[in-house]
Amino acid sequence: MIGTKSIRKHGLKLRTREALYGYGFVGIWIIGFLVFTLAPMVETFRYSLNRVTVTATDISQIFVQWQNYSRALFTDPTFVELLIGFAIETLVSVPIVLIFSLIIALLLNLNFRFKGVFRTIFFLPVVITSGPVIQELTTQGATSAPGIANSAAVVEFLTTLPRYLRNPLEYLLTSFILILWFSGVQILIYLSSLQKVDQSVYEAAAIDGASAWESFWKITLPSLSTTTLIVAIYTIITLSHFSENKVIKYIYLQTYAVDGGIGYASALSFLYFAVLTLLLIIVFLLLRSRK
């Protein structure tokens, strides 16, 4: 008797009930996503198709179709250059961050004394890399590879190179430490993946006569392929969201510029988003594990 009553009371199917409770937990995110991400994005897209002027009381919009976009791509001399610069810098930085964080993670995965001290040092940049701090350090010349970037021989050598080679190299030399400073979280991700590789595989390989070098290439690296993809994507995202990024600064300036304004800045944001997505797709296609 009691049974039938409680079934009628909770008449819902178990799966429906579960789904409802699930929505109860995640519902707040769905609301937040609609209000704070989707709606502003749609709104920004609408702005990007209009000429927007903000007055004290109102926002007036004049529909201009794709004019903002064509202006950014074909008339604006700086934006496209900045975008290309951003893409090149990212594509230069990502492999360096990948290799560097992997090397440090491999080192930290060994057993030696004072490991804790070194781990603390290598992870320190995560705590202090904010835009203004980096900006200050860069202008004082504290982030270039010590002593190399400014030596006369290097400057001389760089001027002999064609431009498409010179820019990435120059960036590499002047921002060397900066690039390394962006590898903190990546080191952690690699380290924890390394610790998850099954030790018995290494032992079996060692018994079969594999050297440490061979087991690195044949065991360690293949088992890290997914991690590498994650690290690469994470790196691109952090670099693209960094507030000292030149593209971001330019978009910010245009928002408040007289001849630019909100409509133009919105168009720039979407173009930037498109380039970022393109970069992510390229890296994804290059690094996904082929099976």
Partner 1 sequence: MNIPIRRLISQGQSLNVPLKRFIAEDLKFFLLGSRSKRGVIPMTLLYLLLFAIGFVYLYPLLFMFVTSMKSPTDLLNPMVQWVPTEFYTGNYAKSFLVLNYMEALASSVSVSLVPSVIQAAVCSLIGYGLARYNFWGKKLMFALILATFIIPAQTTVIPQMLTYKQLGLLGNVLSIILPAVVGQGYQSAIFILIFYQTFQSMPKVLEEAARLDGASDLKIFLQIAIPSALPSFLISIIFSTVWYWNETYLTGIFLEGGVQTLPMQLSKFTQAYENLYPPGTVNIFDRLNEAVKLSGTFLIILPLLLLYFLLQRWFVESIDRTGITGE
Binding residues for partner 1 restricted to 88-107, rule: CB under 8 A: 104, 107
DSSP H or E run through 61:
strand 59-63
State the minimum distance, in angstroms, from the CB of residue 230 to partner 1: 5
At 210, list the tokens: 């594999």
Interaction of residue 59 with partner 1, rule CB under 8 A: yes
Q: How far is the CB of 129 from partner 1 (least distance, A)?
A: 6
Note whether 248 binds partner 1 by CB under 8 A: yes
For residue 75, state whether it binds partner 1 (rule: CB under 8 A).
Answer: no
As measured in angstroms, the least distance from the Cβ of 66 to partner 1 is 17
Among 173, 197, 230, 282, binds partner 1 (CB under 8 A): 230
Tokens of 288: 């996904």
Closest CB to partner 1 among 161 and 237? 237
Location of structure tokens 């079934």: 7
Torsion region of 97: left, alpha or beta (phi above 0 gives left; psi -120 to 50 gives alpha): alpha
Residue closest to 139 by CA, chosen among 190, 175, 107, 106: 175
Q: In which residue are the tokens 């202008």 written?
A: 139
Q: Read off the tokens for 64.
A: 């201009």
Candidate residues 6, 70, 195, 225; the one interacting with partner 1 per rule CB under 8 A: 195
The reply on whether position 284 binds partner 1 by CB under 8 A is no
Q: Which stretch binds partner 1 (CB under 8 A): 5-13, 67-75, 153-161, 263-271?
A: 263-271
For residue 202, what are its two tokens?
């290494």
Q: 40 to each of 47, 151, 199, 271, 285, how far by Cα in Å?
A: 10, 48, 49, 16, 30
Q: What angle do CA 96, 99, 101 make, to 5 degrees?
A: 100
Assess 140 for contact with partner 1 (CB under 8 A).
yes
CB of 84 to partner 1, least distance (A): 17
268 binds partner 1 (CB under 8 A): yes
Instruction: Count CB atoms within 10 A of the CB of residue 65.
Output: 9
Q: How far is CA 61 from CA 37, 50, 51, 54, 183, in A?
A: 22, 6, 6, 9, 43
CB of residue 65 to partner 1, shortest distance in Å: 19
**Interface size with partner 1, residues (CB under 8 A):** 90
Residue ranges in 163-182 that form contacts with partner 1 under rule CB under 8 A: 176-177, 180-181
Q: Which of 82, 276, 283, 287 binds partner 1 (CB under 8 A)?
A: 276
148 binds partner 1 (CB under 8 A): no
Q: Which two tokens stand for residue 117?
A: 């001290």
Regarding 270 and contact with partner 1 (CB under 8 A), the answer is yes
By the rule CB under 8 A, 205 interacts with partner 1: no
